[in-house]
Amino acid sequence: MTGNENIWHTDVSWRQEPALGSVLRLSEVPALGGDTLWCDMGAAYDNLPDEIKERIDGLTAIHDFTSTFGRFLPPDVLEAKQAEFPPAEHPIVRTHPETGRKTLFVNAIFTIRIVGLEEEQSEQLLNYLFSQAHIPEYQIRFRWEPNSVAFWDNRATQHYAVSDYFPNRRVAERVSIAGDRPF
């Protein structure tokens, strides 16, 4: 697949303290396309079957940027980045620090394995959990206009930037807000 950010994800979940949220403004918007979707990961958690909730209760997963952003870095820069940001271990179910709501906190870009499971089991379970973000009932889809501003909570959502506007341009400015360690 080509494009940028067109896989469901939570920003910088590979940090020990992932961003609280982001503010994004689009200064140049294609006439058609370039929408952004967000998914409510609290709803995704709430609607999991009980046996899955029991299975993931207390489990943690590893988040790492090496196989995504890391691919584009020269080896020496990659090594320095890996030293600065070693893989992060986060609970699969995190608790929102303000609302207390449980949210499903694994994503298809950065979450690479579940701690304590065999690789095959980890992959199967992760793929199932990733697929919850694909359920339209949990999503909203935002159509940008020039100078639209979106502000999202990275602790409670995942997002997906639709890459359907080539060769038109889509120009964005983003500010990320520092977050805390997931628990």
Query: Has 11 been annotated as catalytic?
Result: yes
Q: How far is the CB of 78 from Fe ion (least distance, A)?
A: 20
Query: Residue 5 or residue 123: which is nearer to Fe ion going by CB?
Result: 5
Options 134, 141, 143, 174, the catalytic residue:
174
Options 15, 94, 113, 159, the catalytic residue:
159
Does residue number 153 form part of the binding site for Fe ion (CB under 5 A)? no
Residue 23 has, within 13 A of its CA and on its CB side, a CA count of 5
Per-residue CA distances from 37 to 31, 44, 108, 161 (Å) = 17, 15, 15, 6
Please provide the size of the chain in residues. 183
Q: How far is the CB of 152 from Fe ion (least distance, A)?
A: 9
Q: How far is the CB of 134 from Fe ion (least distance, A)?
A: 16
Query: Has 101 been annotated as catalytic?
Result: no
The single residue among 11, 40, 64, 153 that binds Fe ion, judged by CB under 5 A, is: 11
Using CA atoms, how far apart are residues 3 and 101, in angstroms rounded to an integer?
32
Spatial CA neighbour of 160 closest among 168, 146, 150: 150
Residues touching Fe ion, count (CB under 5 A): 2
Query: Has 174 been annotated as catalytic?
Result: yes
Using CA atoms, how far apart are residues 93 and 105, in angstroms rounded to an integer?
6
| Residues near Fe ion, by CB under 5 A | 5, 11
Q: Which positions are annotated as active-site residues? A: 9, 11, 159, 174
